[in-house]
Structure 1
């Protein structure tokens, strides 16, 4: 699919690391395609372990009464353009007692619907700057039996339309409805904000979005140009059989890619 330019920089004037990495499991056929077909997959956020990752609710409940009325005014202006402002405001005030904003339960229902809709229309590619993180090897590469692929972030993000660093917070940011937070601000908060307990990942992300309709499985798969690949790192406990399989499975355009082996020395990961 053609990617839209949607570059979001979350650490201004901070250069990308020289390489960004994706940890995978070799005995998972879907993970193998990262090498065999040069495919990256943009999963929906619903599969993420962090309950707030891309799931921060928009806080309609924190709007003041006047802010809720003004929100209603904007909705009415879109439905009935060309009327004077006092018409919209008076009508918004009249409708308020029966609006969603007057009911905490309805606000929760709206937040749930928005979260489900967001999940269907967004795909996130997660990468890290660390190829030697024991926690990452354990969790994302099946206890050091998998592999890790390095990418040139400039080539990768230029091709995918942009990307940026995840920012880690003591408390999850509050996201307000427009216009207090624009749509772009809401998107940036959702995609690039995580709790500091996940800071060890030092994560960078890029994303796909398709607002008109849900992303299909095919939409979420993107073929990456071979020049974006920099290296493959084999897990310290990867079986020899799998190492041979990887060597044989490399497509011609990746045959000469640098390959390294990770080892564990006194609890530290060493790449050789």
Structure 2
């Protein structure tokens, strides 16, 4: 599917943002906090929960996931330890008196993802005006499945924030829900988004708690009743994979040059600038088809003509 990126014209400087799309074959994935709409990625995060409430709720979710993997019976106590460990990690980051500041944790988590905004077509008058420097810029058409970048999904437009049951979702699920919805006022954009996840490094962390101590005490007091269950196995039960972000989802991401299929120049771009842009784009190794938008003589629309 062809998806389009409206951009300003290339500047002469090497660090010009549009020029870098071609010079480095990359698109920039932005953080949601840098978007022009403060309502972007806005959801209703469940009201503050106490530590105990959060653990109990998260435990139920983990139990259901364990049931789906066929390990429900054996994992009940383990999932409670896992839930406790997960919540304690969140508390370490966002503890506010005795409650979790969900909104703060949510904002920080969302900003570890990166987003590229795209459009369905190259003839949207408002997008030309807003994102292509009043028709002086250009519109880049990508065969998105060929870019090698994260898949693009259609944005959902609605009038009310979506309410999330916070501990029912992974961080990736929360990002997918919130970053793919916007106010209905933006529906004219017919936007698609490619969302890049942060790269994570996982390390094992032994996290004993009162459940571990209780089991360990029982194991040591009655070793004959647990001949097949060693202290080492018990330790493994309370060892979890802890993820840390090594590469943020935001930043430039390289795409395959052949995925750029079209470049449409704005109706106000001069012919000399069009020629300069074609020469520059081809000098960077790209071979798209070139077009220019022209004002329709009878209707409020632009017509796209191949050069």
Provide the alpha-carbon RMSD of the alignment: 3.5
1:262 pairs with one of 293, 302, 305: 293
2:161 pairs with one of 155, 172, 176: 172
For the structure 1 residues 214 and 111, does the alpha-carbon distance in structure 2 shift closer, same or farther, using more than 3 Å as the test?
farther
Whether the 8 Å CA contact 1:22–1:128 is kept in 2: the answer is yes
1:141 pairs with one of 116, 132, 138: 132
Q: Does 1:160 align with 2:149?
A: yes
2:56 is matched with: 70
For the structure 1 residues 110 and 66, does the alpha-carbon distance in structure 2 shift closer, same or farther, using more than 3 Å as the test?
closer
Cα distance, 1:100 vs. partner? Answer: 6.1
For the structure 1 residues 270 and 60, does the alpha-carbon distance in structure 2 shift closer, same or farther, using more than 3 Å as the test?
same
For the structure 1 residues 141 and 66, does the alpha-carbon distance in structure 2 shift closer, same or farther, using more than 3 Å as the test?
same
**Aligned equivalents of 2:155 and 2:246: distance in 1?**
24
Q: Which has the larger radius of gyration?
A: 2
2:7 is matched with: 24
* 1:202-221 equivalence runs, <5 A: 202-210=190-198, 212-213=244-245, 215=247, 220-221=251-252
1:196 pairs with one of 176, 180, 184: 184
Larger RCO: 1 or 2 (CA < 8 Å, sep 6+): 1
Cα distance, 1:101 vs. partner? Answer: 8.7
Instruction: Classify the secondary structure of the residue corresponding to 1:127.
Output: strand
Is there any run of 5+ residues in structure 2 with no aligned partner, and where? 61-75, 88-93, 201-243
1:225 is matched with: 256
Q: Does 1:60 align with 2:47?
A: yes
**Aligned equivalents of 1:67 and 1:195: distance in 2?**
32
**Aligned equivalents of 1:64 and 1:84: distance in 2?**
19
**Aligned equivalents of 2:36 and 2:171: distance in 1?**
25
1:271 is matched with: 304
Cα distance, 1:189 vs. partner? Answer: 0.9
Instruction: Classify the secondary structure of the residue corresponding to 1:204.
Output: strand
2:108 is matched with: 116
Cα distance, 1:182 vs. partner? Answer: 4.2
**Aligned equivalents of 2:268 and 2:146: distance in 1?**
31
Cα distance, 1:263 vs. partner? Answer: 1.1
Q: Normalised by the size of structure 2, how large is the TM-score? A: 0.64
1:213-243 C-alpha deviation (Å, 9 max, x unpaired):
37569x6212211221111000011133421
Is there any run of 5+ residues in structure 1 with no aligned partner, and where? 1-17, 75-80, 93-98
Instruction: Classify the secondary structure of the residue corresponding to 1:115.
Output: helix
Instruction: Classify the secondary structure of the residue corresponding to 2:19.
Output: helix
**Aligned equivalents of 2:246 and 2:186: distance in 1?**
28
For the structure 1 residues 270 and 83, does the alpha-carbon distance in structure 2 shift closer, same or farther, using more than 3 Å as the test?
closer
Cα distance, 1:258 vs. partner? Answer: 0.4
Whether the 8 Å CA contact 2:22–2:284 is kept in 1: the answer is no
Aligned residues: 232
Q: Does 1:186 align with 2:219?
A: no
1:150 is matched with: 141
